[in-house]
Structure formats: structure tokens, C-alpha cells
Amino acid sequence: MIHNLFSHYLIDWNRNKNNRKMPWKGVKDPYKIWLSEIILQQTRVDQGLKYYENFIITFPTIHDLAKADEKKVFKLWEGLGYYSRCKNLIHTARVLSSTQNGQFPATYEDILKLKGIGPYTAAAIASFAFDLPHAVIDGNVFRVLARIFGIREPVDTTAGKKIITELAEKLLDKEHPGEYNQAIMDFGATVCKPANPDCEQCPFKSNCVAYKEDIVALLPVKIKRTTVRTRYFYFFLPQYRNALPVRERLDKDIWQHLYEFPLIEKEEETSSGAIVAAATKKGWIPKGTAVTVSPVYAQKLSHQLIKAVFISYRLAEKSGLFENYSWVKAAALNTLPFPKTITQYLNKAGNDH
């Protein structure tokens, strides 16, 4: 279909049919736009909404975020996933607070240089906050354009991304880039949905290649498959005078910057007897100590399946044990950010250590 007609139909749909409401919509404050965009990377609006509200209440300005204790920020991010987003959020807040008086740069190129901000987020901030003509290209845009323009090239390849990117930039309404960008994402989220799109109500019904050729469900084409690795985590929770050892996960691995208890990881499922024997050999469990072994807590990640078991026991003496860990009062554990698997265990009745 003709390119400027696409933008016309889209804007028309946005002004007459789009009922989607979100707290950051129409906002011009770059800080709020930035925060919402980081939270929403690979994250559904419904899931991110509460986090956005909590962040704005706790850190109303970029300076508030910049001077906050890192642990407190991670605690607020706890459960949202992709924790490098949080790390980069703090980093960029501090850079802008200390070197730019808390002001965001006002060009796409300068916004793109900031940590945690890629092409999508830079285009979103540039268009929403500064009315600059940069097209957002996210999962919605890939889907909407692939269907309406009948793009059969796989979108998760370099060639496919190039086609979509060039098309998106041509289609952008450069007079109303912010409204256009918001509209195409709202349209993808509410009408041209991944499953069961609302084609009968779609303003592009008579122009959509996928609809006319009855291949809506086949587009966009994606090739890559993810393989899932299973990992077995055995966490040890020794209690000494109502305190437990914890440490921050610092390796380049899942849950970086979240906290954990002493851990033995296995590639294969291991019996509780064998794992207790291994911990005893490491000196983590004094001989003859009675332990309580939890059921298996399974957590699915995109590329990993985590099967976690928690082994709790009491220590009469802690001298020489867990010296690389911090001993934290059980009642203070809820001030630390933990992976979902661990908070689930801690929040279960009877596990409140």
C-alpha cells in the first residue's frame, strides 16, 4: 500500500479507536519516558506498570535515583527480570546527574550513547520527549509491518531486520513522530496481536497482504529456536543465632547483582543424601547435623530451567565457616533483592527462618 496512506490510516485509528491508557503516555519528562522504556524492554505493560509507579514514587527525579543506594534500587526491581537493565539504569542516572545536571541529551545520537539504551529506546525517547523523527522498531512494529506489507523474509535475520527498518523509517509520520510511534505500538498490542488478531475491526483489512492472502498467522516468520539448559541449584541455609550467610552474585551469569545463599550447583539431579554429603565434605555442614530439605522449586527462564532445593539447618558454632559471606538477620532478608526462586521459598509459610 502507499506509504503515506499507511500513516494516515494509523493516525486516524489512533485518534478515533485507540483507547489504550498508560501513565507515561503523553508525558514529556525524558526521565519518566526513559524509565518506562527501560522497564518495558521485553516486558509486558501489565507486568511493568506497578514497577513504574513504585519507581516514580520512590525516585521522583533522576537525581533521586542517582543518589540512591544500589541495593535499594535492585530491591525495587526485584522480580522484573533482566537485571542488567537495573544496573545500567543506575549507571546512566549517575552519569546524567553528575555531568549533565540531570538533563537528558536532546539528540538521537547522544541518547543512543547512554548505557542500556539501544536503537529502540533511543527512538522512543527522541520522539516522545523531543519530537524528533525517529521510528521505533520493536516487536509490535516487526509484526504489524510484516503482515500488512506481506514480508516473508524472516525478521530475526540481518536481512529481515534491514527490510523492516528501512520500511519503518519510510512510513514514519515525520510531522507527528511521537504520536505515530505510540500509535503503531498500541495498534500492534491491541489489534494486530501475535495470536488471534482482530482483523475484522482492522482499518487495514482491505490493504493487508497477510489478510488478503490468508497468512496472518504465519507472519512474521521467525527462524531461531532457543535451547533450554537445565541446572540444579542446591542452596544451603545454615542458621546461627537467627542469622544466615548471603552474598551478591557477581559472576557473568543469571541473577547478577541479586543475592543468594551458599550454593552447590550440579549438572545432574543429585539426591539429598549425596548433596548433604558434598556439603559436609566442604565443611558447610558439621557432621551429625539434622537438615530440612525443601521440595524442588522449578523456575523457567528463557534459556534455562532452574531446579532449586533449599537445605536448612542450625549451627551451634560458625567459626571459620562462610567467611566470604555476610551474615544477615532472618528478619532483614526482605531488604535484599533475591531471585524469584528464592523469594518464593522464603515467603512460603514455615520457611521464614
Partner DNA sequence: AATGCGGGGAC
Partner DNA sequence: GTCCCAGCATT
Q: Cα 292–295–301 angle (5° rounding)?
A: 130
When asked if residue 22 is in the footprint of DNA (CB under 7 A), the reply is yes
x/- letters, 153..192, toward DNA (CB under 7 A): ----xx-----------------------x--xx-xx---
Closest approach of DNA to the CB of residue 193, in Å: 7
When asked if residue 319 is in the footprint of DNA (CB under 7 A), the reply is no
Number of residues binding to DNA, judged by CB under 7 A? 62
Comparing CB distances to DNA, the nearer of 118 and 295 is: 118
Tell me which of 7, 97, 121, 127 binds DNA, using CB under 7 A: 121
Enumerate residues 6+ apart whose C-beta is below 8 A from 207: 1, 5, 9, 148
Residue 304, by phi and psi: left (phi above 0), alpha (psi -120 to 50) or beta? beta
Comparing CB distances to DNA, the nearer of 33 and 285 is: 33
When asked if residue 328 is in the footprint of DNA (CB under 7 A), the reply is no
Which of positions 123-152 make contact with DNA (CB under 7 A)?
A: 124, 138-140, 142-143
Is 37 an active-site residue? yes
x/- letters, 53..92, toward DNA (CB under 7 A): --------------------------xxxxxx---x----
Report the C-alpha gap between 192 and 201 in whole angstroms.
10
When asked if residue 321 is in the footprint of DNA (CB under 7 A), the reply is no
Which of positions 203-262 make contact with DNA (CB under 7 A)?
A: 220, 222, 224-225, 252-256
Closest approach of DNA to the CB of residue 40, in Å: 3
Closest approach of DNA to the CB of residue 43, in Å: 4
Report the C-alpha gap between 111 and 48 in whole angstroms.
22
Enumerate residues 6+ apart whose C-beta is below 8 A from 62: 31, 93, 96, 97, 102
Catalytic residues: 37
Q: Could you list the residues that contact DNA (CB under 7 A)?
A: 22, 24-25, 36-37, 40-47, 79-84, 88, 115-122, 124, 138-140, 142-143, 157-158, 182, 185-186, 188-189, 194-196, 220, 222, 224-225, 252-256, 299-304, 339-341
